[in-house]
Structure 1
Amino acid sequence: MKKIFAFLLLGLTVAFASCGDEKTEPGTDWFLTPVAEVNGTTVGLSCQTRFGEGVLENTSVGFSYAAIVDNKIGAFADVAGSAVDGTGIAAALTGLQPETNYLVFAYAGLSTGRVQSQGAVFKTGQDDMPDPDPERPAFGTPAASGVTKTEATLNCTFNFGDTADYDVYFRYKPASSGSYDRVNVSTGTGTKTAALTGLTPGTTYEFALCADWGGQTYTSAAATFTTSSDGGGGGGNTGSAKYSGWPELVPEDKSNSDYHYAYHLCPDFSVDGHKARNFTVCFSAKHHCPVWVAAPRHDCYEGSANRTNAYGKDPIILSSIQYNSKSIGGGCNKGHMLGSAERTRSTAINKQVFYYTNIAPQYSSGYNTGGGGWNTLEDWIDGKVCRDTTYLVIGTYFEAYTDGYGMSASPKKISFGGRNDVSCPTMFYIAALRTKRGNTGKSVLNCSADELMCVAFVRSHNNGLHGQKVTSRELMSISDLEKLTGHAFFANVPNAPKSSYNPSDWGL
């Protein structure tokens, strides 16, 4: 084993202090310089202190570290659970990036605040990842990089040689509260990476890499990162919905464990320095079907990209509750909630709308076909998309339902998407919100109720609607739709006139 006595990197201590807890105090007089013993990508850290015997017992101590790439310091992660040895502390880092410089600090959380050592730098060697251990999943040390106001990239090495079915994923949540969200990654030994989007500015998150295998959940050590403060863009978290700046967003139902959520941003399209949102989905584990998809409609999302037909599982939603294939059945074909033609700005954006979580079974003979009941409504809605952004929530319903045309549908299970337990929706709806004029140049968040119009278009899932033109008989107030479905629509737009509508505003 090669021992490297890490040297102080001048000028970087201030950079670290600005990224951490505002209560952090330098306190460098209490620490000697950290020492690193490097063996490939495994590093043993130690640091002697000037604290008296017993002071560090039952105290939060550890190390914070970050990769240095192109002379820039990445996001710091804390290594908690470090061992206390008298007046010193020690910890082991595994699964680091090979041949990479890292900056490290020792810290101690005292009653008066957190104090830390001066910074030191070590460089890892070549990858020394051991052979996979078939006995149980094994993890390296998780780290975060590329942290901005709303984004971060997580990475962690993973060893496991078992070929049986298992899931690997990152879980993350605000450190102070909340439930875990998850991002599935591929199985097999190697470095796992996940890009997080839609995070809340100025928030500390904790995360870990996990593997579900043999009825148990195995996890890596926990690590943290902190998003930068919001300077006015990016959408905060001040309302009942997850992001207050998204007018179409439906609040998550935290009391319903059946619902799983994913917030998809456009991979290669940004607005005002932030990645544009593509769509948000609520997916049901019970029904194996989308509950609702919320999305903005604007011509900026349209371009010359071809339809990709890239059907596949949503990487954010639990894999086991989604369809297993793109096969059809039950007299239904694959019905997009947010249509492919509405996302043609780029191939990457179009691929996202082919996630199974954006697909519901729709009857192929008279509903999701040329002149079908749903296609007719979709085409009509296309004509209502205005220069100001139009906000849509496209949803499903699974109880017995009869619509304004007298068309009925009853609940049933069908074989669809490689499963035999998929609920066939009894009704589909489109909740729409926009400005009345359509070309005000104003955000709906800044409009009065008199400047806005919103309504729901509701059609039973019934082949008898083939050729049915859109009429006022299918209109429903947003408030009535909320009572029917239990969802809160346009919660971020307090002036949305949800209790009333005027058919003539919509040309009916």
Structure 2
Amino acid sequence: MNNVRINNDNYGSAGKYSGASGKAYAKMFYNASTDYFVIQDISLPAGQTNFTLAFGAIFPADDVSLTVSADGAVWKPLVYTGASAYNTWTGTTVGFTLAQPVPKLWIRLAPTGTERAYGLNFDDIRLTTGGGGQQVDLGTGADLRWAELPSNFETPSSDQFVHTTWTTTVSGGKRVRNYTYCYDKRRHNPVWVAYPHHRCYLEGSGRSDEPWAADPALPETQQAKIYPSSAGDVYQYWVADLVTGRYGSGYWSRGHLCMSRERPGKGLEINMQTFRPTNIAPQAAEPSPFGKIWGNIEEAISGGAIPADTLYIVAGCYYENDGWVQKDASNNGALSSLSKDCVMPTHQFKMAVRKKTVQVGKPIQECTADELETIAFWVETLTTSAATEKSQLGQFIVPISEIESKMRMKFFPGIPDAAKSRAGTLSAWY
């Protein structure tokens, strides 16, 4: 649940409809972008398809959507009759028939956005076998690809390696994808990193103690050596000629594309996996303004409130000049026997898509352009821009379609082009 509490007062449901249980009841608030109540993993009798759902409520049906799911991923609506007038406790009964038996059922109540002075209160939810009625097909939607994956996920070029890193959530123990990356084995730097963001990734706390390490999915000769090979190895940085040539001083910092703070968990796999070269872009440190600009971008996309619904993010690099070469496996400019050429990105981007209002379980591929909020940023790696305030981020916003054109690939290929051809607005994200 989110933004739901239990009240225990004289305004409860006791005696106000048949079967009303007492003074305690659930109070849900009315913000459609954040609030919901879900009962999950209800075990159903084998082979049963006819069910009756009953509950008490003080709201008309237009105030709250009622949906059911077989897996919490794809939700289907149930038509019901609520209170005839707001703030009148009413018992409602919903009969439904499943198109095919399923082992589990999830039930979800969510506000539609109508503001109500006393909350969207409900009580006495009961699910029983028998009855039946409106038919519901709880297809799982397994044929849909992960929404964040760019179009070259299935067919990368010969120089590219695509891989998905899996992890386990800290307290829920769910096995989930951490991030998927496309890494350029010739340039020894990332092309893109794509990942979902959700409250389940934020169950832990803290940042690991700099656990820099090679990605085990890729030969070390094909990834930038920006990690120690053994205890005491200090050759884990890029030579910084390009940075000092532009700014007079500075160095290449190791910039997370999937952020460490988006995967908190000190000393845990979920966080430690973000410290691999395949998730790291070279980013100029101060006196370059890049870090401040990029930090503002990260804050705009995912640094605020815990996401109430899934947020899909892609960050990556653009290589306009293959002459931008720096050596890795160095230390203060001194090279090691493992140093090799790395082509540095001339530009970097970060983009995201989410639903404008919470519709947990509705794939974004099934949303219209008007139901989606998108934003994308494009920044020169060695920028000299003075626009380092959050309020100035608009200077770096471009439509996703513009980055698609430069990168010659589709991002979020399942969503409408109309959602990607418009520039996002800061006010919708900050």
Q: Normalised by the size of structure 2, how large is the TM-score?
A: 0.54
Kept in 1: contact 2:368–2:416 (CA 8 A): no
Moved more, 253-262 or 336-345: 253-262
Residue 452 of structure 1 contacts residue 496 of structure 1 at CA under 8 Å; is this kept in 2? Answer: no
Residue 397 of structure 2 contacts residue 424 of structure 2 at CA under 8 Å; is this kept in 1?
no
- 1:378 and 1:411 map into 2 onto residues whose CA distance is 29
Q: SS in structure 2 opposite 1:483? A: helix
Which residue number corresponds to residue 328 of structure 1? 237
C-alpha distance after superposition, 1:312-348 (max 9, x if no partner): 1111123320123422231201111111111014611
For structure 2, which runs of at least 5 residues remain unmatched after alignment? 1-137, 228-235, 241-250, 331-338
Residues 334/502 of structure 1: CA separation in 2 closer, same or farther (3 Å cut): closer
Query: For residue 286 of structure 1, what is the aligned residue in structure 2?
Result: 186
Relative distance call for 1:449 and 1:319 in structure 2 (3 A) is same
**In structure 2, do the counterparts of structure 1 residues 255 and 261 end up closer, same or farther at CA, with 3 Å as the change threshold?**
closer
Whether 1:298 aligns to 2:198 is: yes
Alpha-carbon offset, residue 384 of structure 1: 7.4
Is 2:412 aligned against 1:490?
yes
Aligned to 1:249: 149
Letter in 1 for 2:374: C
1:318 is aligned to 219
Determine which of 338, 353, 360 is the counterpart of 1:433.
353
Are the equivalent residues in 1 in contact too, given 2:147–2:365 (CA < 8 A)? yes
Q: In the alignment, is residue 452 of structure 1 matched against residue 372 of structure 2?
A: yes
* Aligned counterparts of 2:156 and 2:209: Cα–Cα separation in 1: 36
AA partner of residue 285 (structure 1): K
Match of 2:327 among 415, 426, 447: 415
Picking from 395, 405, 419, the partner of 1:473 is 395
What letter matches 1:321 in structure 2? Q
The 1:455–1:384 alpha-carbon spacing in structure 2 relative to 1, beyond 3 Å, is farther
DSSP 3-state at the match of 2:384: helix
Count of matched residue positions in the alignment of Structure 1 and Structure 2: 259
Asked if residue 309 in structure 1 is aligned to residue 210 in structure 2, the reply is yes
Cα distance per residue 1:141-200 (max 9 Å; x no partner): xxxxxxxxxxxxxxxxxxxxxxxxxxxxxxxxxxxxxxxxxxxxxxxxxxxxxxxxxxxx
- Write 1 or 2 for the structure with the bigger share of helix: 2
Structure 1 spans left out of the alignment, 5+ residues: 1-230, 239-243, 401-409
Task: Describe the shift of the 1:359–1:471 C-alpha distance in structure 2 as closer, same or farther (beyond 3 A).
Answer: closer
The correspondence of residues 45-60 of structure 1 with structure 2, limited to 5 A, is none
CA apart distance, 1:376: 2.5
Q: Name the CA distance, whole Å, in 2 between partners of 1:337 and 1:297.
A: 13
Residue identity opposite 2:380 in structure 1: S
- The Cα of 1:420 is off from its aligned counterpart by 3.5
Cα displacement string for residues 275-310 of structure 1 (whole angstroms, at most 9, x for unaligned residues): 211100000011100110001122321222432421
8 Å CA contact retained: 2:300, 2:429:
no
Distance 1:263 1:472 in 2: 32
**Which position in structure 1 is the counterpart of 2:165?**
264
Supply the distance in 1 between the matched residues of 2:219 and 2:287 (Cα, whole angstroms).
32
Look up the equivalent residue of 1:328 and give its one-letter code: Y
Q: Offset of 1:434 from its aligned partner?
A: 0.8
CA RMSD of aligned residues (A): 3.0
Among 344, 349, 356, the residue aligned to 2:264: 344
1:81-480 matches, cutoff 5 A: 236=142, 238=143, 244-251=144-151, 252=153, 254=155, 256-268=157-169, 275-302=175-202, 303-326=204-227, 327-329=236-238, 330=240, 331-345=251-265, 347-367=268-288, 372-381=292-301, 382-383=303-304, 386-399=307-320, 411-418=323-330, 419-437=339-357, 439-441=358-360, 442-465=362-385, 467-469=388-390, 470-480=392-402
Alpha-carbon distance change, 460 to 496 in structure 1, aligned in 2, over 3 angstroms:
same
Percent identical among aligned pairs is: 31
Mapped to 2, the partners of 1:354 and 1:433 lie a distance apart of 25
Shift of 1:432: 0.9
Cα deviation, residue 257, structure 1? 0.3
C-alpha distance 436-268 of structure 1, shift in aligned 2 (>3 A)? closer
Larger radius of gyration between Structure 1 and Structure 2: 1
Cα offsets for 1:122-159 (capped at 9, x unmatched): xxxxxxxxxxxxxxxxxxxxxxxxxxxxxxxxxxxxxx
Which one scores higher on RCO, CA 8 angstroms, separation ≥ 6?
2
TM-score in terms of structure 1 length = 0.46
